[in-house]
Amino acid sequence: MKYNKRTIPILCFILLFTSFLLDHPVEANSTGHEAAHVNNVIFMIPDGFSTSYATNYRIYKGSEESSLDPLLVGMMKTKSANNWVTDSAAAATAMATGYKTNNDMISISSDGKPLETILEATKKAGKVTGLVATSTVTHATPAAFAAHVSSRESKAEVALQMVEKVDVLLGGGKRNFLPQSSGGLQKDRNLIEELQHKGYSFIENRDELLKHQEYTSKLLGLFAAGPMSPELDRHVTEQPSLAEMTTAAITSLSQHPEGFFLMVEGSQIDWAGHAHDAAWAMKDIEAFEKAVEVVLDFAEKDQHTLVVVGGDHDTGGMSVGGYGAYLSKADVLRDVKATGKYMAEQLNSKRSNAKEVLKKYANIELTKEEAKRIKKAEAEELGYVINTITSERAYIGWTTKVHSGLDVPLYAYGPASDWFRGSIDNTDVPKLMAKAMNIPFLSSEGY
């Protein structure tokens, strides 16, 4: 082969560049199987969220894409050990322990044995841990990462078990940590005072959270006696947003050089689905998306943080379009300023002010037929009737007041995110997280 003056420099460049690549191998990007070192894992759970919620949220937002869409990697199966339709306790147990259990059970096997959670394994490995939720922090999903009880209703026991394991705990449920003499659920212990003696900073409202400049690595924030308010109604409270709590949790946990595990739950998307309150659902997804953006900003800068986002199940069987028309108007929900429950509470005893209430809080001009439906509704169904009228205006239908057995979308970002691609079971999630962090985990055999 003859070499001319042009080919010799090109060949030299190729040889030099090949030599450089051999000496400096390219580190895998955020979607590569050969993942960079994972120091932190942030698991975000939009409770009750499925593909129909994702689609309606795009329409509501008026955008072709949400912050989650570019992170989509696959779908997740959700069945529990004893039912094709899971509850939150069994679903969270699967995502926390890598094992299926029966509905209602929290990180205990169907035959009654405690199951190690990914949070506990992370703690044993020398990392710090955090749980953030807009429900009570002892509710089914956060509970499954730090407690072991046969029934999700054992909230006082869940609180007792949490205080030994979780470094940052933010959400509602203050009464679960207080003694009965103070209106709480603990028999004779004030867990808040005990945690303060152990070095936890304790905060109770948004101002305290935002002004708390020196976040210690141990932080307890309980912003309501019970659950926090829905995002639609939060403006009349002194409670922080999910994004603000997430920021505080990351600020605290990231001080620890060995890394951290953080679970963040958008709890009330699920509750909105149970209530058929489409506006509440969209508003809480919006709040969750803002928390996702906080996490992605941190992960992008850190480069050693794996972010996984996935709902635990579908709630309500929401549809995109409905009521006999090829139509969707989820964007009209942006005019709704309160939950259906809140609007029901504003009605007078005869419900004669229904038109004024729906106009003020939902920008809906009630028809005579709609006003009659509200007037005739049973007291316990009043919120559903208001929410149905709102859903009809948005062409959003519902098939159930409980959960459905749908697979749910799974999203991931950062090193090892490619491991979550395809159709996986919810029990695979904690095993893959443990593998990414290279920590021992009782459920990780074969990974």
Give how far Cα 336 sits from Cα of 331, 343, 392, Å: 10, 10, 13
The rounded distance, in Å, linking the Cα atoms of 203 and 221 is 5
- 137 Cα distance to chain centroid: 12
Whether the CB-CB separation of 131 and 146 falls below 8 Å is answered with: yes
Whether the CB-CB separation of 57 and 66 falls below 8 Å is answered with: yes
∠ CA 348-391-243, rounded to 5°: 90
Give me the active site residues, please: 88
The rounded distance, in Å, linking the Cα atoms of 19 and 102 is 57
Give how far Cα 197 sits from Cα of 134, 202, 264, 410, Å: 26, 11, 26, 40
Whether the CB-CB separation of 123 and 162 falls below 8 Å is answered with: no
Q: Beta 305-310 vs 40-46: how paired, if at all?
A: parallel
Q: In what order do the strands lie in the sheet with 168-172?
A: 201-203, 219-222, 168-172, 128-136, 260-266, 40-46, 305-310, 408-413, 72-77, 422-425
Q: Side chain identity at 191, as an amino acid letter?
A: L
Any idea which residue has 């993942």 for tokens?
Answer: 35
The rounded distance, in Å, linking the Cα atoms of 239 and 247 is 14
393 closest CA partner among 308, 316, 313, 278: 278
287 closest CA partner among 245, 341, 254: 245
The rounded distance, in Å, linking the Cα atoms of 130 and 166 is 6
The rounded distance, in Å, linking the Cα atoms of 115 and 9 is 63
